Structure 1
């Protein structure tokens, strides 16, 4: 009997340690983040409750076994107690009996406590689920209501604007611009701001349309300007139309449809708040199959605006087209919420389109931390563009701020006009909850450093409750004396117009003492209009016609070209699991290359100096120079790429893929 009791006690320990209890510990020690990343999700709640129920069943089984074997153990102890044994052994037997009783009581208490905990968790889980579902339904209903009201408001506004007889009345407002005093660089950094509210008295100028015959001779007071509108008709009229010719090279018009893979963003981003976006390990599920170098090249989609600007005899007219070109670069972002691939250090991308677009473009990733790309464009129509853009981005929990740093240069060879401007801030909203949407905000100043002409552009923040047109952009073109010549208006996702100013005068002060400038203008002319998206664009990452061709395979490109990047190519084909593996391989290869540079530098200098040297990369096709106009050091094209391509001599290119 004694042997049998010991064997049964051993069987309890063996079962509990290697069976149910071991399973319980293993399940319970798993990553909680994987099961509770989204408590509002019904399926995850049900899965959690089901898992807890399974564990309760395991505990109940253990309880039954403990009770059974505990009772058997006590019977064996009682039988031993009835035997004639020495007094000392009897005392020890009583102690063992008491401990066995305490063990059974404690085990039952543990099981009861676990059952009570599960019942409480189930009760509260149901309450939380109902509360979250109610809040979700209310939010969706509110968003649908507000969106419907916004659409109705826009429809009414368009109907009002298109009403017959409005344009003939010079006393009615043609449009209202918004050119605000900058609020400072940190306005987007407000942690509590998710939606921008409509701002009262947001306009600092008002434009009033008039007929051409109502020239400046009828104006009383105020600043007047030339009304020779016809001189610019041959350039500004139809500026948005693209000269279409038969393409010499047939380009692809579609890519494989985007797979429908779901992934929880919060499970990846919750530990990355405040970190640089470029340093967050992101799977390709959040990418689009283009690199940042290719996205930068997309700015050239409306290059015809600059081709037309070459023929302008007036620098202020040319400024209008340059301003429209600067706004057009944002038109591709309205639906493009996916993240482009971070280029590898030394990665390049060429766009050799002299035949159909009349230009050649080259980008190179010249820095990895911070990510920086140099870009140079040559057009056979008589202009050149270059820039070095460094992307600074911060994840703020509710939204993502993307701040491109660096100046954009544009020079027309014939006139010598040299324009410089910088990009605005992009903000991606509803990172955690709701539908993602992107907005462009801030001020852009374009300066012609030869004539000192200026254009002040204002990107109005979007608001459900604003009376303004969504994604509105306004601006004023002024000469070196500060006299306004043109008013620009439109939206960064659709079109831009310009209207010639024939008179400007201050308005009557408002109740709060603020004063606006009233511009009397001629009828507006269309400068730029966005191309319609290709058919089935929603399943092709909302790529434009140009974007669809950027990753198309081409022969003869450098071995560092983005088209040859394997993870990006696999993603485009829909093989996302393989693409993620390749992406990890490339990133590790890049880290190994940096460690080698660090080791090489550390042999001849200190550790701190070596780390700085390891981050210094010598670009192949660009070199650091001092920009005399901005006073900044930037990478500029030093030549040699197209000559190397013609010879197919790429021996100097690093092996980065």
Structure 2
């Protein structure tokens, strides 16, 4: 095995830019000239099986739909389109961004092991593998629904935890989430910044993720790499996340730095990552390598980053079995969190599962899904107008805006903090004998819980 080198990132972005530039130049004449759209790049990352012209005609849209959408979207090139564009429902999956956040909990047992582990460097191996594990799910090319302001998602019956997420801001779109079991607490304020580049979209995770391991009170801070969505309109859509993931133990100063390799020619290096766990003196202690869509392994190393004699590469995580030919490329866990099996007995009416547009899309009724989506968006705008007319201000129910502003590589972030009220609410319902048995599937979606809440 060839181990990753400490200077592996030297020239990384230059090499990535050069490779993509050469490919773009080679494809520009044959593909973009054929399509008649200058500056639109069409790439098949797997390569070899189809020529560029045939690949350019692939995708989930009909030709006339793509042409129409391109005419509408080209004026946004170079802009952040996070919340300024209404997208057609045919590119969506029957899931919201809040549920997408919850997908990170599929392999939460890795955080349990991190908490149980006494070796400070293996803690980071487990915790970083947990952060990597979600990237298989993140490569799905369907777009999740943007949550309505005040919308929530709840998850129980998984790893002994309770998970709650809430849409805390609409402009800019921001979510906050909290999860907890006997081993760890997880807190995130999520805010995405995008840059539309024509046929691709750069996504920058302007967010803050903290994990607290309960046994020793260790606090871990995560900075994920950016993501690039390729072939949004023309060609086969695919996702790549080139860059560094950094997991820092803020208690000790130890950290893991992993490099997600960019997809090269004909899919070369796609999915691959490697890096090290360093001590506070920035000396490598454990090397990590693998593919984010298959498995991650680790091995103790010397100060030069080379594997220690007498040690072997050991697997720490591998992808669970996945459904074959699933319509939305869901994992078994994605189906689980989209069902009511993981819902608490007393489900909030604001829960994402209850959205009528999401449900209609799940049933394959695109026409109804589109109409319901438009209705929800218009109701959200109407509620905002009513609130502003009354001088009222939206205030999240389960999270509080703090005075803390955290710097990130892509901009400053206002931090929301879990206020504990959801835990109290669920504890009360669990112990109450007067809670009526209700068919939660029949609950009407209602995130509009703040109509009469004024700032006092």
TM-score interval (norm. to shorter): 0.7 to 0.9
The residue aligned with 1:317 is 122
1:493 aligns with 2:293: yes
The residue aligned with 1:367 is 169
1:308 deviates by: 1.3
Are residues 433 and 618 of structure 1, via their aligned partners in 2, closer, same or farther at CA, if it must alter by over 3 Å?
A: same
Q: Which residue of 180, 189, 195 maps to 2:9?
A: 180
The residue aligned with 1:654 is 448
Question: Any idea what SS the aligned residue of 2:83 has?
Answer: helix
1:262 deviates by: 4.7
1:545 aligns with 2:346: no
Q: Which residue of 602, 619, 623 maps to 2:396?
A: 619
Are residues 311 and 644 of structure 1, via their aligned partners in 2, closer, same or farther at CA, if it must alter by over 3 Å?
A: closer
Bigger proportion of residues as strand: 2
Task: Please give the alpha-carbon distance, in whole angstroms, between the structure 2 residues aligned to 1:589 and 1:373.
Answer: 20
Bigger proportion of residues as helix: 1
1:654 deviates by: 2.6
Please tell me whether the aligned partners of residues 454 and 477 of structure 1 are also in contact (alpha carbons under 8 angstroms). yes
Please tell me whether the aligned partners of residues 125 and 277 of structure 2 are also in contact (alpha carbons under 8 angstroms). yes
For residues 38-187 of structure 1, the aligned pairs below 5 Å read 173-177=1-5, 179-181=8-10
Task: Please give the alpha-carbon distance, in whole angstroms, between the structure 1 residues aligned to 2:449 and 2:252.
Answer: 46
For residues 451-470 of structure 1, the aligned pairs below 5 Å read 451-464=252-265, 469-470=269-270
For residues 455-604 of structure 1, the aligned pairs below 5 Å read 455-464=256-265, 469-501=269-301, 503-505=302-304, 518=306, 520=308, 522-537=311-326, 539=327, 541-553=328-340, 554=343, 555-601=345-391
1:311 deviates by: 1.3
Segments of 5+ residues of structure 1 without an aligned counterpart are: 1-172, 198-259, 506-516, 602-613
1:525 deviates by: 0.6
1:101-149 deviations in Å (ceiling 9; x for gaps): xxxxxxxxxxxxxxxxxxxxxxxxxxxxxxxxxxxxxxxxxxxxxxxxx
1:476-531 deviations in Å (ceiling 9; x for gaps): 11111222110010111111111111x334xxxxxxxxxxx655562111011011
Give the aligned length.
Answer: 388
1:634 deviates by: 0.6
Task: Please give the alpha-carbon distance, in whole angstroms, between the structure 1 residues aligned to 2:24 and 2:299.
Answer: 28
For residues 68-467 of structure 1, the aligned pairs below 5 Å read 173-177=1-5, 179-181=8-10, 193=21, 262=62, 264-272=65-73, 273-274=76-77, 275=79, 276-334=81-139, 336-353=140-157, 356-380=158-182, 382-464=183-265
User: What's the TM-score, normalizing by structure 1?
Assistant: 0.55
Task: Please give the alpha-carbon distance, in whole angstroms, between the structure 1 residues aligned to 2:115 and 2:280.
Answer: 20
Task: Please give the alpha-carbon distance, in whole angstroms, between the structure 2 residues aligned to 1:194 and 1:583.
Answer: 41
1:623-655 deviations in Å (ceiling 9; x for gaps): 0124598696411110112433443699x9635
Please tell me whether the aligned partners of residues 96 and 144 of structure 2 are also in contact (alpha carbons under 8 angstroms). yes
Q: Which residue of 415, 418, 439 maps to 1:637?
A: 418
Task: Please give the alpha-carbon distance, in whole angstroms, between the structure 1 residues aligned to 2:362 and 2:404.
Answer: 38
| Greater relative CO, 1 or 2 (CA 8 Å, sep 6+) | 2
Aligned structure 1 segments of 4 or more residues deviating by more than 6 angstroms: 186-190, 628-631
The residue aligned with 2:432 is none
1:266 deviates by: 4.1
Please tell me whether the aligned partners of residues 504 and 519 of structure 1 are also in contact (alpha carbons under 8 angstroms). no
Are residues 476 and 176 of structure 1, via their aligned partners in 2, closer, same or farther at CA, if it must alter by over 3 Å?
A: closer
Question: Any idea what SS the aligned residue of 2:303 has?
Answer: strand
User: What's the TM-score, normalizing by structure 2?
Assistant: 0.78
Question: Any idea what SS the aligned residue of 1:473 has?
Answer: strand
Are residues 518 and 551 of structure 1, via their aligned partners in 2, closer, same or farther at CA, if it must alter by over 3 Å?
A: closer
1:597 deviates by: 2.3
